Amino acid sequence: MTHLTLQAVTRRFGAAQAVDSVDLSVPDGKLVCFLGPSGCGKTTLLRMIAGLETPTSGSIHFAGRDITRLPANQRDFGMVFQSLALFPHMTVAQNVAYPLKLRKTARDQQTRRVAELLELIQLPHMANRPVTQLSGGQRQRVAIARAIASQPKLLLLDEPLSALDAKLREAMQMEIRLLQQRLGITTIMVTHDQREAMTMADEIVVMEKGRIAQVGKPLDIYRDPVSEFVADFIGLGNILPVTYDGAGGVNLPGGRRISVAQTARMPASGSDIRLLIRPEDVCVKPASDSAAPNRLAGTVTFIRDVGASLEATIDCAGFTLTAATTPRETPGLTLGMPVLAELPSHACKLIAARAAH
């Protein structure tokens, strides 16, 4: 079931088009991430859903009702801002109770609901502590508790983790995801961090210049991006300019031929295309191994060793490849070593080249 539907939603600020004719359906009970670089329109889109911005054109429907011009305070949505916007002069319990107070909820119901929420976010012992005395992660949890206090039908999160350090950020990603699953609340989160989106989302909406570039499950977008922009934005990837040879293969810079398994999606001969292969799919073989199709001779020019994994840069005369491997898979890998980089045909994807600007 789809709870939220956007139809041709556009937002202009003077001559600038922040959001350009977006169509989107958000399924009920799922966590959806709007992902993209700064200035791609993701926060403007979220603010229109929240009712904080009005679309220039298009419509927004929620649970079958047109809410395009409905004021924010009548939408019954919870929102957590990047700044968290907690009240510094209030205690944890008072912050959480604030939306209930606005709704004139009975005092005993407020007390019960606040106790329930503080238990949920694992901060019952901090009810009477001023929010100014909390850590970043604790403040984050209080902001979420306040946003869901009035049991909103939709939870909107605008880059809520960007101010946290890396370790805490990862811990909070898990906490928010588990909380969302436990409550079953439809959630939309804005982020520019592809790892965060991959970790948390049921579905990712990749945005580029005010438009939707691709929508899909995280792994589908990672494995099967529709364009060079999406491939480059989601994860690390080797993206090489190639020409299709018309016979199930492509020619790399320097003329080496690579066979590609996905012949059904081959573009027309001569099209401006790219070959994508993820670093973990590049197999590093000793130079003494036999030559074979899709094996390229190269030299190791850089190694990043982080203990459990290795990242090697291989110069293949005319282009470089990044390979992700492990010390067990490639023992004794050293700088300057000649190797063979194998590109399995099933892992080679053809994608549309980024449009020239």
Per residue in 2-60, pLDDT (tens digit) is 589 999 999 999 999 999 999 999 999 999 999 999 999 999 999 999 999 999 999 99
Q: How many residues does the chain have?
A: 357
Contact of 48 with 54, CB cutoff 8 Å: yes
Q: Determine which of 115-124, 165-174, 222-231, 260-269 has the lowest per-residue pLDDT on average.
A: 260-269
| Opening angle at CA 352, ends 350 and 356, nearest 5 | 145
179 Cβ contact partners less than 8 Å away, ≥ 6 residues apart: 120, 121, 144
Instruction: Give the start-end residues of each E strand in the chain.
Output: 2-13, 16-27, 31-35, 57-62, 65-66, 77-80, 154-158, 186-191, 203-208, 211-216, 238-244, 249-251, 257-259, 273-277, 283-286, 295-305, 310-315, 320-325, 338-342, 349-352
Is the confidence at residue 236, as pLDDT, over 70? yes
Q: What is the pLDDT of residue 204?
A: 97
Domain chopping of the chain, boundaries: 2-228, 236-352
Tokens of 191: 């982020």
d(CA 60, CA 250): 44
| Fold entry, domain 2-228 | Rossmann fold (3.40.50)
User: pLDDT tens-digit profile of 128-168?
Assistant: 999 889 888 888 888 888 888 888 889 999 988 877 778 87
Q: What is the pLDDT of residue 166?
A: 81
pLDDT band of residue 266 (cuts 50, 70, 90) is low
Kind of pairing between the strands at 310-315 and 295-305: antiparallel
Instruction: State residue 250 phi and psi, 5-degree precision.
Output: -130, 155
CATH number of 236-352: 2.40.50.100
Report the amino acid identity of residue 349.
K
